[in-house]
Amino acid sequence: MLEQSYYDKTDEIIGSHGTEQAALIPIIQDIQSEYRYLPPELLSYVAGKLGISEAKAYSVATFYENFSFEPKGKYIIKVCDGTACHVRKSIPILERLYSELGLSKAKVTTDDMLFTLETVSCLGACGLAPVLTVNDKVYPAMTPDAAAELIRELRGA
Ligand code: FES
């Protein structure tokens, strides 16, 4: 069960976009940027307000990979494992981060909700490989030690 404040905020977001069916994506984008994920309860709520079936709203939201139905951490770290980064040893960076954060492929967010660790197939910065991003800020030419240091800095931030 979500608190009432989530619904109040959603009403505010709907108010700024209107209730045309085309407003669905901008509305759920705003919800996701507010909460760093898209609570399924709110997707159903928005669908109701816009007169869209829940099934349709889910199919739209799941079509766009950017929407997440799981809560994410304050810092979303994306380690690139595209070809350029892979050959420049992105996997040891990923493994070091998994071990520093106590995470794994099956558990990608820390219990304190500070970090979410994901992989991506190319961040479009291959010349800077190996690359990772934290909340879309690019960190070039990473090493496992530099990644561990970055985590320490973020924890202290
Ligand atoms: S392969 Fe990593 S940025 Fe392109």
Q: With pLDDT > 70 as the criterion, what percentage of the chain qualifies?
A: 99
Q: What is the pLDDT of residue 58?
A: 95
Best mutation site among 80, 93, 118 for ligand 1 pocket (most ligand atoms within 8 Å of CB): 80
84 in ligand 1 pocket by Cβ < 6 Å? yes
User: Read out DSSP for the chain?
Assistant: ---HHHHHHHHHHHHHH-S-GGGHHHHHHHHHHHHSS--HHHHHHHHHHHT--HHHHHHHHHHSTT--SS---SEEEEEE-SHHHHHTTHHHHHHHHHHHHT--SS--B-TTS-EEEEEES--S-GGG-S-EEETTEEE-S--HHHHHHHHHHHHH-
Give the model's confidence band at 149: pLDDT under 50 very low, under 70 low, under 90 confident, else very high: very high
Give phi and psi for 116, each to the nearest 5.
-120, 135
C-alpha 19 to ligand 1 mean position (Å) = 39
Average pLDDT, the chain: 95
Instruction: Tell me how far apart the terminal alpha carbons of the chain are, to the nearest angstrom.
Output: 31
136 has pLDDT over 90: no
131 has pLDDT over 90: yes
C-alpha 105 to ligand 1 mean position (Å) = 20
120 in ligand 1 pocket by Cβ < 6 Å? no
> What integer is the mean pLDDT of 22-28?
96
What is the architecture of the domain spanning 4-63?
Orthogonal Bundle (1.10)
129 in ligand 1 pocket by Cβ < 6 Å? yes
Give the model's confidence band at 12: pLDDT under 50 very low, under 70 low, under 90 confident, else very high: very high
State pLDDT tens for residues 90-107: 999 999 999 999 999 999
Q: Where are the domains of the chain?
A: 4-63, 75-156
The reported pTM is 0.79
157 has pLDDT over 80: no
126 in ligand 1 pocket by Cβ < 6 Å? yes
Give the model's confidence band at 147: pLDDT under 50 very low, under 70 low, under 90 confident, else very high: very high
> What integer is the mean pLDDT of 47-57?
96
121 in ligand 1 pocket by Cβ < 6 Å? no
123 has pLDDT over 80: yes
Q: What is the pLDDT of residue 146?
A: 98
Instruction: Determine the CATH number of domain 75-156.
Output: 3.40.30.10
Q: How many CB atoms are located within 10 Å of the residue 105 CB?
A: 9
C-alpha 79 to ligand 1 mean position (Å) = 9
Ligand 1 atom closest to 90 (CA): 2
Q: What is the pLDDT of residue 32?
A: 94
Q: With pLDDT > 90 as the criterion, what percentage of the chain qualifies?
A: 92
